[in-house]
Amino acid sequence: MSDFTSEFWHYWVAGVTLISILACFFLLWYSGKVDVKSNEGNSTGHVWDEDMTELNNPLPKWWVYMFVITLLFGLIYALLYPMLGKFPGLLNWTSAGQYQAEKEANLAEVAPKFAAFSQMPVEQLARDPAALQIGESLFMNNCAVCHAVDARGSLTFPNLTDGDWLWGGDPEAIKVSITQGRVAVMPPLAEAVGTPDDVTNVAHYVMSLSGAPHDSVRAAAGKANFATCIACHGAEGKGNTAMGAPNLTDDVWLHGFGVDAVVRSINMGIMNVMPPQNVLLSEDQIHVLTAYVWAKSNPAPN
């Protein structure tokens, strides 16, 4: 809808539009009425290239009618559609309304298909080519911006194909992740751990958990301080899907690999957000998406 900051602009736009159209009518009427004095033989007296004379003939009828028709068209259009300031037009047409209507028509068309899908369990849907195709287009439109077109993610955006899950990889957990979103929080812990040296030592210990290159003396020194971390990451550092705390013993690094990256995570903390999708997608669409995502790490046995 038209959003004017003041009444003035409404009247200004509507006024200028109407006056312009009416002025054209007036011009046409007036120019047909006044009798312009002409010289002998109807000439305006203008001559070019020695013998080309400009005459003062009336406008051709067909031209006048065309002009009147375009003006009438403009007037009728202005009455039917939102053109005169904030006047909505007799048809009450809006681009948003048209979009909504088209969207609803589209949804109605695919509704039977989705109704059938919603009856099928995720594991079965994940083997259904038609469902996977719809899942793929939903994923491209809604998820690929963050998780990448191949669902392999990037720094801070998790890979959804590797079977490594922050919040759990069974259909239920995946569906909750998509529907409600997820907020992963690791507070800054430098002070809890101790001196900067202690922090570096814990980081070396974390690297040792996955067998990554580390200083074993520092890692041994850092082991005790890992106590600060076990509430979330577990005593063995294997993570906890209840709070999205990742497994630190594998070689998947969502927030960067290496001692420096771990030190940064401890010092700055981490806040990572997956926005809820139920504001954008219907339950049926999320059901199909769940199957699409689940299939990525559970390919059909052949």
Residues making contact with ligand HEC (CB under 6 A): 142-143, 145-147, 156-158, 160, 165-167, 174, 177-178, 182, 184-187, 189, 193, 202, 206, 228-229, 231-233, 243-246, 248, 252-255, 262, 265-266, 270, 272-275, 277, 289, 293
Place of tokens 């990451």: 233
Residue number with CB closer to ligand HEC (18 or 243): 243
Residue number with CB closer to ligand HEC (82 or 153): 153
Residue number with CB closer to ligand HEC (85 or 165): 165
Measured distance CA(259)–CA(212) in Å, rounded: 10
Measured distance CA(298)–CA(289) in Å, rounded: 14
Q: Kindly state the smallest distance separating residue 302's Cβ from ligand HEC, in Å.
A: 25
Nearest to 154 by CA among 265, 238, 253: 253
- CA atoms within 13 Å, Cβ hemisphere of 203: 21
Q: Between the CA of residue 253 and those of 170, 227, 265, what are the distances in Å? A: 21, 21, 11
Give the angle 283-120-180 at the CA atoms, nearest 5°.
Answer: 25
Residue number with CB closer to ligand HEC (182 or 218): 182
Q: Kindly state the smallest distance separating residue 137's Cβ from ligand HEC, in Å.
A: 12
Please give the structure tokens belonging to residue 27: 């011009």
Q: Kindly state the smallest distance separating residue 301's Cβ from ligand HEC, in Å.
A: 22
**DSSP string covering 148-175, please?**
-TTS--BTTB--SSSS--SS--SHHHHH
Q: Kindly state the smallest distance separating residue 230's Cβ from ligand HEC, in Å.
A: 8
Residue number with CB closer to ligand HEC (121 or 187): 187
Q: Kindly state the smallest distance separating residue 219's Cβ from ligand HEC, in Å.
A: 12
Please give the structure tokens belonging to residue 67: 């002009």
Cα-atom radius of gyration of the chain, to the nearest Å? 36
Give the angle 139-140-145 at the CA atoms, nearest 5°.
Answer: 100
Backbone φ, ψ for residue 186 (5° rounding): -120, 115
Q: Kindly state the smallest distance separating residue 175's Cβ from ligand HEC, in Å.
A: 8
Residue number with CB closer to ligand HEC (177 or 208): 177
Helices (H), 81-125: 95-118, 122-125
Residue number with CB closer to ligand HEC (214 or 233): 233
Residue number with CB closer to ligand HEC (84 or 284): 284
Q: Kindly state the smallest distance separating residue 279's Cβ from ligand HEC, in Å.
A: 11
Q: Kindly state the smallest distance separating residue 2's Cβ from ligand HEC, in Å.
A: 32
